[in-house]
Chains A and B, each alone.
Chain A
Amino acid sequence: MAIPIHYTLSNFKSRKLTTAITIAGLALVVFVFAAVLMMAAGVEETLQATGEPENVKIVRKSANGEISSIIDGETQNIVQTLPHLAKGEDGGVLNSREPVVVINLTGEDGGFSNITLRGVSKGFGPMRPNVEIIDGRMFNPDLRELIVGEAIRSRFVDAQVGSTIDFAGNDWLIVGEFSAGGSGFDSELWCDASQMLDAFNRGNSVSTITLKLNQASDFEVFKTAFEKDQRLQQFQAQREQDYYGEQSEGLAGFIRVLGIFVTVIFSIGAMVGAMITMYAAVANRATEIGTLRALGFQRRSILVAFLIEALVIALAGGVIGVALATLLQFFSISALNFQSFSEIAFSFAMTPATVISSMIFAIFMGIVGGFLPAVRAARLSIIDALRG
């Protein structure tokens, strides 16, 4: 039978300070670990929330982002002849032909950042039902006017309602602020597509076209028709949400790899800390270990008792670390998405997977940190241990 668990737990009371410091060290590492995963999940959630399930995005196959995609006027007309496309009140196919470029804005800290500027077609409203004006008004399609996403307004001195931004040889007036429900669009500036094509001298070549299907389930039929059309071989059709979701993979993956690499380095420190604590516990309790062995407890019972002790410390660290990381959900940060070459603002997102991974990470540190001391405890000779 095992050594009673309350023996293990009671021992913490006699070493409150060292136990607390070790738990704090582990909690910090788990906090950083969880924060990294939350950051990556935040990027994914933001970009995956971008777009509507019924919307289809057409881009050039060779383009790895919206700004490197070009769609000529003829192709724009061809795609509108494909089946299952929703029509507007005027009987025309709902579509938004969007030129996308990146411009520089001055940040609150004085530095420049890349911001996506998107031109949207008249009548894009039914295609983007989540977009609403929360301050000022919608741009006038006949004027050089902009609306600014809520995630960038607070971070850029230039991006205020009423201020003007100079690009493409014109001054553009910001007339409103919009919210797109926490999606990637919140990190963009929008204007009328034809104003933008005119200013940038791009003729009628846009970057992407967004179309709306009658219903989301029509996508496969639409796609088949799209792929059969010989004139559209250089282009691809994707669900809008899938397209932006893929745009998150690079940044989210980068955050994960770099972040996990850093936390693994940190974790070595925490594991050494746990190890020192557990070695000290073994040394302090050598006589107790000898006594338990003399009474007839097996080596493996001693091993298990000390491993449980390390695990309890690790679990406590894990719970505290995850609890602290949960508070990060109230913060929003931004990063450069190198697939779109522009800034994206996102919140830390706590997911069940992050909680589970963080706790597994904590347990792993506990086992690694506690194993060698536990083995040492189990291997002590009874005679040596009884001498203390």
Chain B
Amino acid sequence: MSVRVVSAVRLVQQRSIVVLIALLVALAGLIEIIRPGAVNASWVSNILEFAAPLGILAAGQTLVVITGGIDLSVANVATAAAYIMASQAPYGVTRAIVAGLLVGVVVGLVNGVGVAVFRVQPLIMTLAMGLVVTGSLNVYSQAAIRSVPGVPAVIHALGSGTVLGYVPVSLFLWAPLAVLLILGLRGTGFGRLLYALGDNLEATRLAGVRAWQVLLANYAACGLLSAVAGLVLSGTVNAADLSLATVLLLPSVAAVVIGGTSIFGGSGSYSGTIVGALILTVLNSVLTLLDVPDAVKQVLYGAIIVILAAAYTRVLGHD
């Protein structure tokens, strides 16, 4: 191998986000080849609009995965938050939004208590809480609601409005959140503690960190972000049904993994996850353009995630 190749590999290893962005551009190029002229300002606007709910959902997932956990209840929480928000809408929009966000915080806190205090494996705790949330939501929908609730205009505007013709309104929520998370993870004590916990829980504990408090706050934050994602999503599709965000559970994990956050915890970043969410959204757009049946789309989607993850692991030498 020549020196130049070696240094290229090293560059890739250190700046994996460059590769991801290159991949994103390549996918966009593919779309342009399939249908010349398809990649324009309104396409970009569309991609951002559809990536926003996934990106926010995957933000919570990133926080949890960095600590070495996983949250399988994010989609259930997002669905429940959106549904409860919509059902409370007749009593005032503020109350509705607060109720929706509260769902996220409460479920996140329960997850946190299970994982941090009772030391339940995150996979099981969040899986079970997902069942509890969905079960409760089913009961709630039968007991309290007579008709499918509508989405308030504010939320609809948040999820699918645009400013100046092309800039999605949701970007004004997503971008500050992203900046906050990227800087917060990198620069604050809380952010560094998340990496420390994911890298070595026992060592961090022995170093005097009250691990349970950090984890509890982290799961609550993940729940809150999931609820926000649910609200945005209900605005994007302008509906809140009982399976609203179910389809986003697996992509939320996939976006984190493609974005280079180790599933074992201790390393990763939200900027990677953002690109991961964008890649998945563009991928969806490619598959839609190819005009294949949903079933084939699903198979290709899965296959591409396998290939991406494998290539990624190979290049970066993760184990």
The answer to whether A and B interact is no
- Enumerate chain A interface residues (CB-CB to B < 8 A): none
- Enumerate chain B interface residues (CB-CB to A < 8 A): none
